[in-house]
């Protein structure tokens, strides 16, 4: 049995080997993803939308996150290759560094290996606080769904030079504060490439172009289950395949080979 660790992912970046991340919220799908070779699983607060039926991620609570993190952790426990588990701090759970540390500890005790937090420079002190206490942080930049109301909806970020420069600066600052991973959502491909080249830590993209060190998709999106308007970066991996495990394997293979994302899944340069 082997455990994917942050060192494994650092090594992948150093060697130019891309890796795959999927969201997971329950034991069965987490186990199927792990058995299909997905290296990292995100217990995302997207569960509020795809599992609980809310219109945004804002209603998701710490109790929800701890429950789903524990479900996923149990699911992968006996897998030959155990993925690294990243769990989201939900809306308002990181308002102060002290709150963030207590909430992150709860998710680590539920089985997470790292915590994801949405936000930029204002989180630097919190990232440092968590890192010093042994809690690895994934910084989430670009489109941060918990701030969708502030951003005017779910839209492309970093379009003009000033906004792109802010995202590049935030990534550098949060890495300097101790972030071990950066997740970059819905930005032009050129910005995804610039952040990835500048970062020493692995950068995971979703709608951030082909140059990031890894790609993540929401599981329900890549299985074609989500209804309504689809983001440009969504690809249905179940279509034309025999089953869910085939879809997971195809996603992982296309991420590793660079076949995903194709130009039609990306936002300009």
Report the site for ligand KIV in 112-171 (rule: CB under 6 A).
Answer: none
Q: How far is the CB of 234 from ligand KIV (least distance, A)?
A: 11
Could you tell me which residues come within 8 angstroms of residue 217 by beta carbon, excluding any fewer than 6 positions away?
Answer: 22, 23, 206, 233, 234, 235, 251
Identify the three-state secondary structure at position 223: coil
Q: How many alpha carbons lie under 13 Å from residue 143 in its C-beta half-sphere?
A: 19
Label the pairing between strands 203-206 and 214-217.
parallel
Q: Judged by CB, which is closer to ligand KIV: 4, or 43?
A: 43
Q: Tell whether residue 23 is a contact of ligand KIV (CB under 6 A).
A: yes
Q: How far is the CB of 46 from ligand KIV (least distance, A)?
A: 3
Q: Tell whether residue 60 is a contact of ligand KIV (CB under 6 A).
A: no
Q: How far is the CB of 209 from ligand KIV (least distance, A)?
A: 15
Task: Let me know the angle formed at the C-alpha of 132 by 2 and 217, rounded to the nearest 5 degrees.
Answer: 50
Q: How far is the CB of 249 from ligand KIV (least distance, A)?
A: 21
Q: Tell whether residue 209 is a contact of ligand KIV (CB under 6 A).
A: no
Joined together, the tokens standing for residue 79 give 């897998």
By C-alpha distance, which of 177, 182, 179, 186 is closest to 195? Answer: 182
Q: Are 84 and 78 a contacting pair, CB within 8 Å?
A: no
Joined together, the tokens standing for residue 212 give 């990031």
Rg (CA), the chain: 17
Q: How far is the CB of 220 from ligand KIV (least distance, A)?
A: 10
Burial 5-18, CB ≥16 within 10 A → b, else e: ebebbbebbeeeeb
One of 89, 177, 218, 255 touching ligand KIV (CB under 6 A)? 218
CA distance 56 to 47: 9
Q: Are 124 and 130 a contacting pair, CB within 8 Å?
A: no
Total binding residues toward ligand KIV, as defined by CB under 6 A: 11
Q: Judged by CB, which is closer to ligand KIV: 57, or 80?
A: 57
User: Is residue 176 annotated as a catalytic residue, yes or no?
Assistant: no
Q: Judged by CB, which is closer to ligand KIV: 185, or 254?
A: 185
Q: Judged by CB, which is closer to ligand KIV: 14, or 157?
A: 157
Report the site for ligand KIV in 165-204 (rule: CB under 6 A).
Answer: 183, 185
Report the site for ligand KIV in 27-46 (rule: CB under 6 A).
Answer: 42, 44-46
In the set 185, 193, 253, 254, the catalytic residue is 185
One of 8, 20, 69, 88 touching ligand KIV (CB under 6 A)? 88
Q: Judged by CB, which is closer to ligand KIV: 4, or 160?
A: 4
Joined together, the tokens standing for residue 114 give 């790292």
Q: Judged by CB, which is closer to ligand KIV: 88, or 170?
A: 88
Identify the three-state secondary structure at position 174: helix
Q: How far is the CB of 110 from ligand KIV (least distance, A)?
A: 16
Could you tell me which residues come within 8 angstroms of residue 102 by beta carbon, excluding any fewer than 6 positions away?
Answer: none
Which residues are known to be catalytic?
185
Sites of contact with ligand KIV (CB under 6 A): 23, 42, 44-46, 88, 183, 185, 206, 216, 218
């Amino acid at each position: 049995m082997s455990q994917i660790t942050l060192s494994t992912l650092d090594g992948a970046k150093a060697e130019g080997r891309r890796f795959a991340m999927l969201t997971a919220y329950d034991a069965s799908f987490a186990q199927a993803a792990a058995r299909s070779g997905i290296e990292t699983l995100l217990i995302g607060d997207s569960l509020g939308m795809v599992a609980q039926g809310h219109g945004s991620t804002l209603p998701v609570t710490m109790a929800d996150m701890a429950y789903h993190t524990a479900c996923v952790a149990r699911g992968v426990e006996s897998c030959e290759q155990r993925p690294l588990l990243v769990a989201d701090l939900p809306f308002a759970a990181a308002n102060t560094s002290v709150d963030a540390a207590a909430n992150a500890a709860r998710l680590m005790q539920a089985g997470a290996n790292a915590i994801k937090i949405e936000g930029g420079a204002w989180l630097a002190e919190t990232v440092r606080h968590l890192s010093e206490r042994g809690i690895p942080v994934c910084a989430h930049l670009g489109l941060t769904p918990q701030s969708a109301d502030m951003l005017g909806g779910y839209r492309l970020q970093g379009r003009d030079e000033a906004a792109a420069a802010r995202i590049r600066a935030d990534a550098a600052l949060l890495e300097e504060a101790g972030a071990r991973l950066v997740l970059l959502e819905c930005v032009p491909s050129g910005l995804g490439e610039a952040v990835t080249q500048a970062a020493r830590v692995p950068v995971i993209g979703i709608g951030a172009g082909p140059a990031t060190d890894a790609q993540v998709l929401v599981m329900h999106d890549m299985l074609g289950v989500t209804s309504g308007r689809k983001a440009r970066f969504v690809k249905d991996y179940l279509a034309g395949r025999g089953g869910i495990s085939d879809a997971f394997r195809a996603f992982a293979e296309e991420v590793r080979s660079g076949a995903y994302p194709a130009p039609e899944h990306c936002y300009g340069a």
